[in-house]
């Protein structure tokens, strides 16, 4: 071998070693980065853990807070608001009634024609409109003008198509799903906004007056018969169809629950007399808090940067407005700690850019190479092509965040059942899951886009309910999804209060 040949061979070996060295170094670095990302995931998993023991602590805390909120004004983060609904529909209501449902994301306009016998709804028309973003932070006049004109168009359409008697003033149930201090069945004062609304001039004002003025401004002759919130509407529709319905839960943009309570248990209103002996209580459970809730650094940051820090803590872990943003925050953190998502995408820094329906789309992507995940990362978060293992990681984040939310919602539901003695322990025995305890059929009406449209969320919630209650008890607890319950239910309550003659509430 000549000298030149040897030199070339040695040179090539050196280059090969150098290349191998660089590749090896890169691989080590990339493995280290991957490990740090997996570390972020592990930390998330641990801090979101909801073993059944912890869920039972949440159940107990919920029941305790319910007692405290009923005992005195300001006695708990749970406001436990009186609704003045002291009887629930029975199925015998009759006539045509309207409802407006102002939720958080959408405005629904509803008309129902009730048959008057065996819970028959002869016709139901529902129109749904997204609430324009700018109206959520504008003035009350702007908001109620939008609502009134929408309702007016809806009514006018109906007048052309039906024989509705214009001799009688139309009656309207108004579902207004924000914390309200109710003064009567048809009036209440807005305590504060939630779910991203911030119209300052409305806080402290009488809500029905604002609506009634809006209707008058727009030349609509309609009478607001009842003011309720979505949970109460849902409870009413649930009870209209099934008299074993004792509570209602909303899991949509926000989350809340209401249930039928005995008047004598509402200690803060001593001497409260209702013909039925009961009253629906609006828990405003979105504001529930307990040290047993599994809180992460992402929750703390989300809360701190929200317009209502320290409020709605339960809601911020559970509801549709927030889940997407928790997922975004985890991806952001991973992206800051490594480059597995490529260079940091500025979109990741934009709060609420990732809406929860995209979380469910990614979570439920069953294509082998997770195409939907890739598409959403690219289109929503401007993160181009990432390897399959990174897409799997994103699915895992969605799973952890959603599972925690669903399980906490289940614990909240069992908390209500415990308070009203329907959790199978009911004061008869403290031994859980005893098969000889007579458990009454108990129905909880549920509504909201997160529950109805996100299958994995729903399944996790049901699974947790079974785990907490044990199967023997859980088989008597039926979660029934209602459709348009918050609106249709309000129309039915309007009917029920309009034609109220005989008290029909069955107390627990
Ligand atoms: P509102 O709370 O305004 O009354 P809905 O009950 O219809 O409205 O709930 C809408 C919310 O539910 C959305 O803001 C979203 O957070 C959530 N949602 C709707 N569809 C889905 C879905 N497919 N997957 C996950 N979340 C969803
Ligand atoms: Mg709603």
pLDDT in tens, 273-300: 777 889 999 999 999 999 999 999 999 9
**Lowest-pLDDT range of 179-188, 338-347, 476-485, 495-504:** 495-504
Atom of ligand 1 at shortest range from CA of 457: 25
How buried is residue 182: exposed, middle or buried, by Cβ count under 10 Å (0-12/13-18/19+)? buried
Active-site residue among 54, 60, 142, 192?
192
CA distance 301 to 362: 24
CA distance 78 to 193: 16
pLDDT at 13 over 50: yes
3 state DSSP class of 261: strand
Q: Where are the beta strands (DSSP E) in 150-300?
A: 170-176, 180-184, 187-190, 222-228, 245-251, 255-262, 278-282
CA-to-CA dists, residue 6 to 10, 18, 20, 142, angstroms: 6, 18, 21, 86
Average pLDDT in the 356-364 region? 98
Point out the ligand nearest to the CA of residue 455: 1
Task: Tell how far the Cα of 36 is from the centroid of ligand 2, in angstroms.
Answer: 40
Predicted pLDDT at 500:
40
Active-site residue among 230, 303, 365, 484?
230
3 state DSSP class of 34: helix
How buried is residue 397: exposed, middle or buried, by Cβ count under 10 Å (0-12/13-18/19+)? buried
pLDDT at 507 over 80: no
How buried is residue 142: exposed, middle or buried, by Cβ count under 10 Å (0-12/13-18/19+)? middle
pLDDT band at 167 (very low <50, low <70, confident <90, very high): low
Atom of ligand 1 at shortest range from CA of 321: 16
User: What are the tens digits of pLDDT across the range 406-416?
Assistant: 999 999 999 99
How buried is residue 453: exposed, middle or buried, by Cβ count under 10 Å (0-12/13-18/19+)? middle
Residue 97's contacts (CB-CB under 8 Å, 6 or more residues apart) are: 111, 112, 114, 170, 171, 172, 173, 225, 491, 492, 494, 495, 498
User: Residues 251, 318: contact at Cβ < 8 Å?
Assistant: yes
Average pLDDT in the 375-385 region? 96
pLDDT at 436 over 60: no
Predicted pLDDT at 430:
45
Average pLDDT in the 483-489 region? 92
pLDDT band at 161 (very low <50, low <70, confident <90, very high): low
Task: Tell how far the Cα of 391 is from the centroid of ligand 1, in angstroms.
Answer: 24
pTM for this prediction: 0.89
User: What are the tens digits of pLDDT across the range 303-335?
Assistant: 999 988 999 999 999 999 999 999 999 999 999
Q: What are 433's two structure tokens? A: 């899951």
Three-state SS letters, 79-97: CCEECCCCCCCCCCCEEEE
Ligand 1 proximity of 255 Cβ (cutoff 6 Å): no
Point out the ligand nearest to the CA of residue 402: 1
């Amino acid at each position: 071998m000549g000298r030149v040949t040897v030199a070339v061979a040695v040179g090539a070996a050196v280059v090969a070693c150098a290349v191998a060295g660089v590749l090896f170094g890169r691989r080590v670095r990339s493995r280290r980065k991957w490990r740090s990302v997996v570390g972020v995931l592990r930390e998330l998993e641990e801090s979101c853990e909801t073993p059944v023991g912890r869920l039972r602590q949440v159940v107990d805390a919920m029941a305790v807070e319910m007692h405290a909120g009923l005992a005195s004004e300001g006695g708990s983060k749970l406001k436990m608001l009186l609704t003045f609904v002291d009887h629930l529909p029975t199925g015998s209501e009759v006539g045509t009634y309207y409802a407006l449902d102002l939720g958080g994301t959408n405005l629904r306009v509803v008309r129902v024609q009730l048959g008057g016998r065996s819970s028959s709804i002869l016709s139901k028309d529902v129109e749904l409109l997204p609430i324009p973003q700018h109206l959520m932070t504008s003035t009350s006049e702007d908001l109620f003008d939008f609502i009134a004109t929408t309702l007016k168009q809806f009514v006018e359409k109906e007048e052309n198509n039906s024989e509705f008697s214009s001799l009688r003033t139309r009656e309207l149930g108004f579902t207004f799903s924000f914390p309200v201090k109710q003064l009567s069945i048809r009036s209440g004062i807005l305590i504060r906004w939630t779910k991203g609304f911030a119209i300052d001039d409305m806080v402290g004002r009488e809500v029905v007056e604002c609506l009634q003025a809006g209707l008058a401004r727009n030349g609509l002759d309609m009478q607001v018969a009842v003011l309720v919130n979505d949970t109460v509407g849902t409870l009413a529709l649930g009870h209209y169809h099934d008299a074993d319905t004792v509570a209602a839960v909303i899991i949509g943009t926000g989350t809340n629950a209401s249930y039928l309570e005995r008047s004598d248990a509402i200690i803060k209103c001593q001497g409260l007399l209702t013909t039925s002996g009961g009253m629906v209580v609006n828990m405003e459970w979105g504001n529930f808090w307990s040290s047993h809730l599994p809180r992460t650094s992402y929750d703390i940051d989300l809360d701190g940067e929200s317009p209502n820090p320290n409020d709605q803590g339960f809601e911020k872990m559970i509801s549709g407005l927030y889940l997407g943003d928790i997922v975004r925050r985890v991806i952001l953190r991973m992206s800051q700690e490594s480059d597995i998502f490529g260079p940091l995408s500025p979109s990741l820094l934009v709060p609420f850019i990732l809406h929860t329906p995209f979380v469910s789309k990614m979570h439920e992507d069953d294509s082998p190479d997770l195409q939907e995940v890739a598409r959403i990362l690219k289109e929503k978060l401007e993160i181009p092509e990432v390897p399959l293992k990174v897409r799997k990681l994103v699915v895992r984040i969605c799973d952890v965040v959603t599972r925690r939310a669903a399980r906490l919602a289940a614990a909240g539901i069992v908390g209500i059942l415990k308070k009203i003695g329907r959790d199978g322990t009911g004061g008869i025995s403290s031994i859980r899951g005893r098969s000889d305890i007579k458990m009454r059929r108990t129905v909880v009406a549920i509504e909201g886009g997160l529950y109805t449209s996100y299958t994995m969320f729903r399944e996790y919630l049901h699974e947790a309910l079974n785990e907490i209650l044990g199967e023997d008890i859980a088989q008597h607890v039926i979660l029934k999804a209602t459709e348009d319950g918050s609106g249709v239910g309000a129309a039915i309550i309007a009917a029920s209060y309009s034609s109220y003659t005989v008290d029909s509430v069955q107390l627990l």
